Chains A and B, each alone.
Chain A
Amino acid sequence: MRFLRRCRSMVRALCLASVLAAGCLVRAALAAGSSCVSCHMNLGEAQAKIIRDFQGDIHHEAGLSCHSCHGGDPKTEDMALSMSPDAGFVGKPGPTDMPRFCGKCHSSPAVMKKYNPALPVDQESKFWTSHHGMELKKGNAKVAQCASCHLPHSIRKAGDPLSSVHSKNVAATCAHCHSDKEHMKGSGLPVNQFDKYMKSVHAGALYKKGDIGAPTCNDCHGNHGAQPPGVESIAMICGSCHAHNMELFNGSLMAKAWKKRGYHACATCHQHHDILQPNLDMLSGKGSVCLECHTPQHKGYQAGAAMKRGIEEGDAVYSEVTRFIDEVEQKKGMDVAEARDDIQEGRQALIQARTAVHGFDAGKVGEIASSARNALEKARTFGQKAAREFWRRRVGLGLSTLFITLVVAGILLKLRDIEK
């Protein structure tokens, strides 16, 4: 009951706060002398919402108002005058006009310098090079333009978690159209990219681990100049983050052969939207991606199997040694900090071996995996020494206890002798 009462009073307080806030906003706008606000506030909920939303818009924060984009004269209460073309009124732009409408300011270095000199001014020109832009030019009003992604009247900085283009919201913003079968009809594009992406290791990093640096749609496709990456550029795109893997791949024999055959560099093994956590089974066995081109008897497939074996052996030693060192530390209470350093070195080498797979050189991978095993064996030797020391201490304690007991017994016998 008390909880319900509390909820009720909270709701009441929230309602009161919203009414007061709305009232304050309107009063503030009126104080600024905008006839747009005073009229549109009374034109129904949809119009009132625009005014409310705009209070959080970055343009409002920069001191801009309705007439800054839509033109007109907000100082006069006369609708005919305030919304006359003579007063510069341009009204609501259609989808095809939108890039030029926003570009009035955003493509002008002189204007942008006043508000945000760090912001590029090439969004509009990039947009016209994108698939969206090219389609829009042809008159396809269904494609995305500025207002499709940057929700009009509530545009926020990309770093603002409430922004539709914040890294955590980008996929949903793109999916708004790209997952809509009806909307995408006739485009020839699939509508399952969002579902595939959400299963990927990148989405896992972004949403589960909260790593906002993890890639989402625009990191691979670009934002204003959005394009599907071509065969040539896919390795470059993945390589912008996975630089070492790209370098290894480009230096490998495989890169030349794939180029000849027109294979996508990374996506051939890792797919594109549903890029899953890679595992060693990709190298050999039933699920091996090598089998897409090689037969199990091929030298290439055998090299993959050898790489897998080398890393798996290293992994097994890693688990075994880690378990042993944990036991020495937790059950025997010995200091094993030095062994932990070696384990870390071994782990690091195993990660390197996994990366080295992209060079398709089984000898190199084997060499790195072997250095990992050496570091791990060093840790094991340290642990064994610590375990021996553990028993040595107990034996030493036993012997000294025996010695002390004998001396004490001797003293007591001597005392008995004296006191007799």
Chain B
Amino acid sequence: MSSGFQGSRLFRWLDERFGAGRLIEWAGHKTVPVHRGTVFYYMGGVCLFLFIVQVLSGILLLMYYRVGPDSSFESVHYITTKVDFGWLIRSVHSWAANLLVFFIFIHMFSVYFMKSFRKPRELTWVSGFVLLCLAMAFGFSGYLLPWNELAFFATKVGTDIIGELPLLGEWMLKIVRGGEDVTGATLSRFFGLHVAILPGFTVVFLGIHLLFVQVQGMSHEGEAGSKAMPFFPNFLLRDLALWLVILNVLAILAVFFPWELGKKADALASAPEGIKPEWYFLFTYQTLKLIPGKVMAVPGELLGIVLFNLAGLLWFLVPFWDAGIPEGKRDRAINYLGLFVVMFIIAMTIWGKFS
């Protein structure tokens, strides 16, 4: 079929103007290494697919969603009850958001343990880390948009942390909330962030991230003893099959576990019991809860925030300081650190969930 297309007039037209033939030739040479960890090469593709699902379902939700303290909840309720397939689109958007963060974590840790962040892929790691932060910001801002009780109070608690920062804390809190408290101004800000600012940044960083992967090829390529499979069509077809499975999983989740809307946010009501952040913020939340109120005259919460920021910075810069570790100990040190981080996140998330 491809040879048929390559002989067509349309292909010749494209080739004369854009060099389509060179692109086909380059794609034909692209390979994916085959080894024990090959399955992890699919994770990035899954993240890309889920991001596309988010963009498409998000655009559909935008057709009916009306931002504002008097209309957000009502419009989401309208989407889930009156709009044809609105319930499906809303549930898919919420579930895909959670799966996206989950698969970004899997993708990041597989890259970490495969040491794929090392030279020459330092900047791919850096752009990936930025994409993780953007995904979490997407999650945090999107959580408030239905303007329901849980989201309202979770955002209140979540943004309170910003106010704990010394010197600039209060000022930053006002910027984020658009005032002293979580109000309609916060909702408008989060909406703007969610549908305009974050997608803009994400497209740029995603473009860079994918460009780096294409330019540098897959990691562990051509290593001694490793086999390879062609990207087109072998790997791509497998990717496609997995995407379809993920799509089916999303549909099952949306039908059997539709995302609840709950009660409309009421600033004057008392906070319901068991207010917790989304699962991907739970490990930080639980850790902050465990730190005593004061640690050697420093407020515990502030200390926790500083430590998390330092740890995040270290993680972000791993390709740069890893090179400084003596070669004999390097792999073991990275493995132990990664294992500790994974165990810490899992343990704190479970603890946070059931506490």
A residues with CB within 8 A of B: 333, 335, 337-338, 393-394, 396-397, 400-401, 404-405, 407-408, 411-412, 414-415, 418-419
Which secondary structure dominates where chain B touches chain A?
Answer: helix
- Cβ A408 vs Cβ B255 within 8 A: no
Given contacts A393-B255, A394-B255, contact A419 B245 (CB under 8 A): no
Complex CA gap A411/B238 in Å reads 8
Number of B residues, CB within 8 Å of A: 20
A404 near B244 with CB under 8 A, answer yes
Please tell me if B309 contacts chain A, counting CB pairs below 8 Å: no
Structural contact, B234 and A418, CB atoms closer than 8 A: yes
Whether the Cβ atoms of B241 and A408 lie closer than 8 Å is yes
User: Within 8 Å CB of A335, what residues of B?
Assistant: 77, 80-81, 87, 261
Residues on A with C-beta less than 8 A from B255 are: 393-394, 396-397
The answer to whether B258 has its CB under 8 Å from any CB of chain A is yes
Q: Hey, which chain B residues are within 8 Å of A400, CB to CB? A: 248, 251
Identify which of A412, A415, A418 gathers the most chain B CB atoms within 10 Å of its CB: A415
CA distance A412 to B234 in the complex (A): 10
Which B74-131 residues have C-beta < 8 A from chain A?
77, 80-81, 87-88
Cα distance, A415 to B245, chains bound together (Å): 16
List chain B residues, Cβ under 8 A from A411.
Answer: 237-238, 240-241, 244
Whether B204 is near chain A, meaning CB under 8 Å from some CB there, is no
CB distance from A334 to the nearest CB of B (A): 9
Q: B residues within 8 A CB of A397?
A: 251-252, 255
Q: A404-B245, A415-B238 are in contact. List 15 more A-B contacts (CB 8 A).
A: A333-B258, A335-B77, A335-B87, A337-B77, A337-B81, A393-B88, A397-B251, A397-B252, A401-B252, A404-B247, A407-B244, A408-B241, A408-B245, A415-B234, A418-B234
Chain A residues with CB under 8 A of B233: 418
Q: Can you name the residue of chain B whose Cβ is closest to the Cβ of A397?
A: B255
Q: Which residues of A contact B261 (CB under 8 A)?
A: 335
Can you list 25 contacts pairing A with B, beta carbon distance less than 8 Å? Answer: A335-B77, A335-B87, A335-B261, A337-B77, A337-B81, A338-B81, A393-B87, A394-B255, A396-B255, A397-B252, A400-B248, A400-B251, A401-B251, A401-B252, A404-B244, A404-B247, A404-B248, A405-B248, A408-B244, A411-B237, A411-B238, A411-B240, A412-B241, A415-B237, A418-B237
Residues on B facing A (Cβ under 8 Å): 77, 80-81, 87-88, 233-234, 237-238, 240-241, 244-245, 247-248, 251-252, 255, 258, 261
Closest to A415 in B: B237
**A92 vs B89: C-alpha distance when bound (angstroms):** 84
Could you tell me if A401 and B258 are in contact, using CB atoms closer than 8 angstroms?
no
Residue of A nearest to B247 (CB): A404
CA distance A400 to B77 in the complex (A): 26
10 interchain residue pairs of minimum CB distance:
A411-B241, A397-B255, A404-B248, A408-B241, A335-B81, A404-B244, A393-B255, A411-B237, A415-B237, A408-B244
Residues of A within 8 A of B248 (CB): 400-401, 404-405
Alpha-carbon distance between A394 and B88 when the two chains are bound, in angstroms = 12
Q: Is the interface of A mostly helix, strand, loop or mixed?
A: helix
Closest residue on chain B to residue A414 by CB atoms:
B237
- Distance in Å: Cβ of B264 to nearest Cβ of chain A: 11
- Give the complex CA separation of A396 and B81 in angstroms: 17
Q: How far is the CA of A404 from the CA of B233 in the complex (A)?
A: 19
A335-B77 Cα distance, complex, nearest whole Å: 9
- CA–CA, A393 and B258, complex, Å: 11
Q: Which residues of A contact B87 (CB under 8 A)?
A: 335, 393
Partner of B234, one of A333, A404, A408, A419: A419
Q: What is the CA–CA distance of A415 and B239 in the complex, to the nearest angstrom? A: 12
Inter-chain CA distance A393–B255, complex, in Å, is: 7
Report B-chain residues with C-beta under 8 Å of the C-beta of A414: 237
- Which A residues are in CB contact (< 8 Å) with B88? 393
Report chain A residues within 8 Å CB of B81.
335, 337-338
The chain A residue sitting closest to B252, CB to CB, is A397
| Nearest chain A CB to B217 CB, angstrom units | 21
How far in angstroms is the closest Cβ of chain A from B238? 7
Complex: A411 Cα to B241 Cα, angstroms: 7
Given the complex, which residues of B lie within 8 Å of A404, measured CB to CB?
244-245, 247-248
Closest to B245 in A: A408
Q: Nearest Cβ in chain A — how far from B87, in angstroms?
A: 8
Residues in chain A near residue B238, CB distance under 8 A: 411, 415
Cα(A397)–Cα(B88), bound, Å: 11
Measured in the bound complex, the distance between the Cα atoms of B258 and A394 in whole Å is: 12
**Nearest chain B residue, comparing its CB with the CB of A401:** B248
CB distance from B235 to the nearest CB of A (A): 10
A407 to B238, CA, bound (A): 12
Cα distance A394–B254 when bound, in Å?
Answer: 11
Could you tell me the distance between the alpha carbons of A140 and B224 in the complex, rounded to whole angstroms? 119
What's the least CB distance linking A164 to chain B, in Å?
36
- Bound together, the chains give a CA A272 to CA B300 distance in angstroms of 66
In the complex, residue of chain B having the shortest beta-carbon distance to the beta carbon of A396: B255
Distance in angstroms between the alpha carbons of A38 and B142 in the assembled complex: 74
* A405: chain B residues within 8 A (beta carbon): 248
Least CB distance, B230 to chain A, in whole angstroms: 9
Measured CB to CB, the closest approach of chain A to B246, in angstroms, equals 10
Looking at the assembled complex, report how far the CB atom of A389 sits from the nearest CB atom of chain B, in whole angstroms: 9
Chain A residues whose CB sits within 8 angstroms of the CB of B240 once the complex forms? 411
Q: Which residue of A lies closest to B239 (CB)?
A: A411
Q: Whole-angstrom distance from the CB of B3 to the nearest CB of chain A?
A: 14
> In the docked arrangement, what's the CA distance between A291 and B241, Å?
79
Q: Which residues of A contact B247 (CB under 8 A)?
A: 404
* CB-defined contacts of B245 to chain A, threshold 8 Å: 404, 408
Chain A: minimal CB distance from B215 (Å): 27
* Residue of B234, B237, B261 most packed against chain A (CB within 10 A): B237
- The minimal Cβ–Cβ distance linking A399 to chain B, given in whole angstroms, is 11
CA distance A333 to B234 in the complex (A): 42
Residues in B with CB closer than 8 Å to A396 are 255
A418 to B261, CA, bound (A): 47
In the complex, what's the smallest C-beta–C-beta distance from A397 to chain B, in angstroms? 5
- A405's nearest neighbour on chain B, judged by CB, is B248
Complex: A128 Cα to B63 Cα, angstroms: 76
Alpha-carbon separation in the docked complex, A333 to B91 (Å): 13
Q: How far is the CA of A408 from the CA of B245 in the complex (A)?
A: 8
- Residues on the A chain within 8 Å of B241, using CB: 408, 411-412
Please indicate the chain B residues that have their CB under 8 angstroms from the CB of A419 in the complex: 234
Complex: A401 Cα to B88 Cα, angstroms: 15
Cβ contacts under 8 Å, A337 to chain B = 77, 81
User: Which one of A396, A397, A407 has the greatest number of beta carbons of chain B within 10 Å?
Assistant: A397
